[in-house]
């Protein structure tokens, strides 16, 4: 962020008030091909990252969970199974197109019995204090304008003893992997987006937004600054992705 009036949209410096609109445009554009592109971009490995995340929720039957920036509902679906019919999962996303795709997919598969759908801004969550036993946000935090405000909002709606799980692209742990990853991100991904989603620019933004996102240690410190305790992270695939975990006590 530069001063109080601008922030990053990929590598561009834009007014704070402009970023949310631009991010909304990106996800409205890619919504129809979101699941397919996830499979193609990650060679299907995103499913393993999400499975690992679900293994860290600690959820039990009857509890409540929030899947924030939930997109097409992969994490919400898994948590719905964990909390069972007596529990509740809220799938929330700021983007109406993404939320609609997630709702339709889960309803079509008969998996939405204990899932609610809410259009919500991560920076100002419309839920009472201490509502959820677990909050997940998968590949969404880097698109939030005021990350500290979003983390504080998540802390507020988390129950004492609950945990936050942030699954996000991060920083490779070795220079050799970083070099290969850069080539893939800036050469292959935009072309893949152009061919499959007919949207090269959105996938160039994806690559740039990953580079502008806080690294593993910085994000851990940001979580601690808003009150999360026992914060830690797991590097997945050499740090290309990291899962951060923090608790409210």
Backbone angles phi, psi at 36, to 5 degrees: -60, -45
Compute the average pLDDT of residues 1-22.
76
Q: Are 91 and 102 in contact (CB under 8 A)?
A: yes
Q: Please count the other Cβ atoms lying within 10 Å of the Cβ belonging to residue 118.
A: 15
What average pLDDT does this structure show over 159-173? 97
CA–CA gap between residue 84 and residue 68 (Å, rounded): 19
At 3 the pLDDT is 45
H helix or E strand, kind and range, residue 157 = helix 147-157
Residues 17, 75, 199, 193, CA torsion sign: positive
Q: How far apart are CA 162 and CA 8, in angstroms?
A: 31
Helix, strand and coil in the chain, % to nearest 5:
50, 25, 25
Residue 23 has pLDDT above 90, yes or no: no
Task: In whole angstroms, give the CA distance from residue 67 to residue 82.
Answer: 13
* Tens-digit pLDDT profile for residues 112-149: 899 999 999 999 999 999 999 999 999 999 999 999 99
Least confident of 34-43, 70-79, 212-221: 34-43
Is 6-173+204-247 a domain of CATH 3.40.50.150? yes
What backbone phi and psi angles, to 5 degrees, belong to 93?
A: -150, 145
Flag whether pLDDT at 170 surpasses 90: yes
pLDDT tens digits, 227-248: 999 999 999 999 999 999 999 9
pLDDT band at 31 (very low <50, low <70, confident <90, very high): confident
- Residue 2: the pLDDT is 42
Give mean pLDDT, residues 12-28: 79
Q: What is the pLDDT of residue 27?
A: 74
Q: What is the Cα–Cα distance from 8 to 39, expressed in whole angstroms?
A: 27
pLDDT of residue 4: 57
Quote the pLDDT of residue 197: 83
Kindly indicate the confidence band of residue 1, based on its pLDDT and cuts at 50, 70 and 90.
Answer: very low
Inform me whether the pLDDT recorded for 199 exceeds 50: yes
Give me the percent of the chain exceeding a pLDDT of 90. Answer: 72
Measured in whole angstroms, the distance separating CA 224 from the mean position of its chain's CA atoms is 19
What's the rounded mean pLDDT across residues 71-98? Answer: 95
Residue (of 164, 147, 135) closest to 214 by Cα position: 147
């Amino acid at each position: 962020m530069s001063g109080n009036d601008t922030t990053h949209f990929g590598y561009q410096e834009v007014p704070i008030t402009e970023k949310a609109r631009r991010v909304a445009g990106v996800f409205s554009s890619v919504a129809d091909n979101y699941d397919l592109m996830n499979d193609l971009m990650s060679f299907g490995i995103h499913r393993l990252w999400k499975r690992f995340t679900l293994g860290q929720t600690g959820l039990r039957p009857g509890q409540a969970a929030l899947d924030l920036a939930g997109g097409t509902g992969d994490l919400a679906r898994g948590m719905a199974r964990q909390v069972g019919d007596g529990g509740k999962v809220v799938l929330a996303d700021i983007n109406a197109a993404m939320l609609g795709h997630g709702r339709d997919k889960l309803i079509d598969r008969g998996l939405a019995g204990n899932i609610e759908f809410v259009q919500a801004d991560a920076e100002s969550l419309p839920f009472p204090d201490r509502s959820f036993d677990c909050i997940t946000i998968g590949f969404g935090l880097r698109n939030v304008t005021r990350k500290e405000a979003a983390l504080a909002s998540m802390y507020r709606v988390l129950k004492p003893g609950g945990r936050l799980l942030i699954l996000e692209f991060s920083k490779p742990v070795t220079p050799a992997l970083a070099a290969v990853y850069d080539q893939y991100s800036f050469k292959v991904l935009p072309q893949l987006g152009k061919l499959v989603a007919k949207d090269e620019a959105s996938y160039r933004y994806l690559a740039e937004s990953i580079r502008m996102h806080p690294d593993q240690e910085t994000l851990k410190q940001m979580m601690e600054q808003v009150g999360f305790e026992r914060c830690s992270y797991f590097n997945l695939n050499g740090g290309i992705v990291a899962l951060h975990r923090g608790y409210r006590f």
